[in-house]
Chains A and B, each alone.
Chain A
Amino acid sequence: MNLFRLSWKYLTFRPLSTGLNVFLLALGLAIITVLILVQDQFEKKMTQDAEGIDLVVGAKGSPLQLILSGVYHIDFPTGNIPIDEAKKLSRNRLVKRVIPLALGDNFQGYRIVGANYDYLDLYQVEFSEGKIWELPFEVVLGAEFAKKSGLRVGDKFTGSHGISIGSHEHEVHAYQVTGILQPTGTVLDRLIITSIESVWYMHEDEAEEDAGLEASSHEEKYHSPVAISGFPENGEGKEITTLLVQYRSPMAAVQLPRMINSGTSMQAASPSFEMSRLFELLGVGVSLLQGLAFVLIIISGLGIFIALYNSLKERKYDLAILRTLGASRFQLLILVFLEGIMLTFLGAVLGILLGHTFLSVLISNNDQGVVSSLQAWIFLKQELWIVVYALLVGIVASLIPAWSAYQTSIAKQLTKA
């Protein structure tokens, strides 16, 4: 029997009050854990996804929407831009590299993105199976989508029109899988990537079919290789959705966006700028949650203080007995502190576990979109700080009770009864 076990016995002697305090503290800390985890992973993901993209050019509209649809593939695109204007922009001396993207279709809610080889290069992704597309209607699957859909190399599927699930299907052409990418932890994992030509032909033929023309007259172009880099060759008069731009020099950051926004029918938006604006907007909600968490933690701190203080009043006699058995004042001080510390330590451990569990439930309820790509069971260094904060709460809550235990006069206590 040592001080540690003795404290533990006193704690478990009042299971309800101890349980309630531990739970309150755990709830507060769980919210903070979730916030820390989400914030950390979101920010990492957001920067990772936008790595190497200095500017996104698309149709006029909301710049945030343009970034969300063009880089992160969350929101709807603002519209399309004429390829001629995009080509003109790509010849600007401030531009190092452009990657054109064509959006418009999905398969089971996963976006089919028309791009070129540079897009895969941007994320430095390797193939885990098969190879890159060479002909129209050949596609490459992101790792996460491949896993969820169960599609393999050589399989065929038909996309549906629109960005979200449930639109009508393109029955004229089927996509064929030529490769599956390795997981990258980026937006690429959730995409189906193909050539821009695939997206174009898919929509052209629909239109022509509706107009009564025969699709077979296009046989030839379906068997010619697609563009590897830059724009497709036969693109006169056609449209693309967004253009990802890499600057040649820092000067471009100053000149290029202004030039595009005022001098063309397109708009330019910077991912880093728009994302920091978004985080600013979300910040209100985050601080609200943080506030709630702190209120919970303070209440639990008070609860611990009151529980210790009350139990100490009942326990003054016990403390006096311990003194007569040879315990020093200092040992009684430690006894009370240990109780507060053990209680909050339990709360911290439970809180962190609860936080991770919350997040994993959240993730399993969202099998598409950004939330699904978060990971619940990653442990961060900041979580150690949660334990430290919790222990501080425990120490502060035990200060007064511990001091009053220290001050207890044995003779007075024993003669009182």
Chain B
Amino acid sequence: MLFESRNLKYSHPGQNPLTFPDIRLEGGEAILVLGKSGSGKTTMLNLLSGLLVPEAGEVLLDQVNVASLKGAEADRFRGKNIGIVFQKPHLLAPLNVKENLEVASHFSHNKGQDIFQLLQELGIGKKANSRVQTLSEGEAQRVSIARAVITKPKLILADEPTSSLDDENTEKVIQLLKNQAAKIGAALIIVTHDQRVKNHISNFIEVNTL
């Protein structure tokens, strides 16, 4: 089993504790995490990525307990093994497309994939030297996917990656995520409330912690 989460529990200060359903994934498999807004989807994603430490339960990625890592070790593990795609692309504005990807390889200490080939695959090969401000929303989201997978992570987490995209771009983005995950053999977890995504990935769990 490449990725497994068990009995995760977390409570925000002054609120009732949340319990999350378990996830088990092999490499190349994908799963959707569905739920209404405010149901704790993002909290779950933060737990799975190690950005938050759970009160109980464990997250195992390639036999490593993500929550047990501390400080710089945790940062490096995350950089190397987990790629995250956010709702908004959040590219670094002072850098161009290529440099944004180079930053990811630098901090993960991982040479990873060839930047130009990856950009080709994502259909933005000509944008390598563009300023990120000049990209369209769809293009920017594709660059952020490239940034998440450039280091060949074992786990790809996507947080509402399609919520601000039109149907066409949504389909493209989901296909790209699936293809890239399959190519590098990573587990793919997409947190979403977007019904359009369900047409592409049938495997899902529902978060209903309320």
Contact = CB atoms under 8 A, between A and B. Distances in A.
Contacts of B76: 326, 328
B116 interface: no
Contacts of B102: 1
Given A12-B94, A325-B107, A411 B51 contact: yes
A414 B86 contact: yes
Nearest to A314: B93
Given A13-B94, A330-B72, A415-B42, A322 B51 contact: no
A73 B202 CA distance: 98
B94 A327 contact: no
Contacts of B94: 9-10, 12-13
Contact of A411 (B46, B103, B147): B46
Nearest to B86: A414
B152 interface: no
A288 interface: no
Given A1-B99, A318-B92, A325 B86 contact: no
B79 A326 contact: yes
A324 B92 contact: no
Interface string B57-83: 000000000000001100110111010
B72 A329 contact: yes
Contacts of A414: 46, 51, 86
Contact of B93 (A13, A322, A410, A415): A13
A216 interface: no
Contacts of A318: 90, 92-93
Nearest to A322: B107
A317 B99 contact: no
A411 B71 CA distance: 14
Task: Name the residue among A10, A12, A329, A415 with the largest chain B CB count within 10 angstroms.
Answer: A415
A55 B97 CA distance: 76
Task: Name the residue among A9, A329, A414 with the largest chain B CB count within 10 angstroms.
Answer: A414
B106 interface: yes
B198 interface: no
A321 B78 CA distance: 12
Contact of B90 (A317, A323, A411): A317
A400 B108 CA distance: 27
B52 interface: yes
A314 to B, nearest CB: 9
A6 interface: yes
A417 interface: yes
Contacts of A10: 94
Contacts of B86: 414
B154 to A, nearest CB: 14
Contacts of A322: 92, 103, 107
A331 interface: yes
B72 A324 contact: no
A365 interface: no
Nearest to B49: A324
B107 A331 contact: yes
Contacts of A234: none
A78 to B, nearest CB: 67
Contacts of B106: 1-2
B92 A1 contact: no
Given A327-B75, A328-B75, A1 B103 contact: yes
B127 interface: no
Contacts of B109: 326
A227 B70 CA distance: 92
21 contacts: A1-B95, A1-B103, A9-B94, A317-B90, A318-B92, A322-B92, A324-B84, A326-B76, A326-B79, A326-B107, A327-B75, A327-B107, A328-B75, A329-B72, A330-B72, A410-B51, A411-B51, A414-B46, A414-B86, A415-B46, A417-B90
Interface of B: 42-43, 46, 49, 51-52, 71-72, 75-76, 78-80, 82, 84, 86-88, 90, 92-95, 99, 102-109, 147, 151
Given A1-B106, A414-B51, 10 more contacts: A1-B99, A9-B99, A324-B79, A325-B108, A326-B107, A327-B75, A328-B72, A331-B107, A414-B46, A415-B42
The 3 closest A-B pairs by CB, nearest first: A326-B79, A13-B94, A1-B102
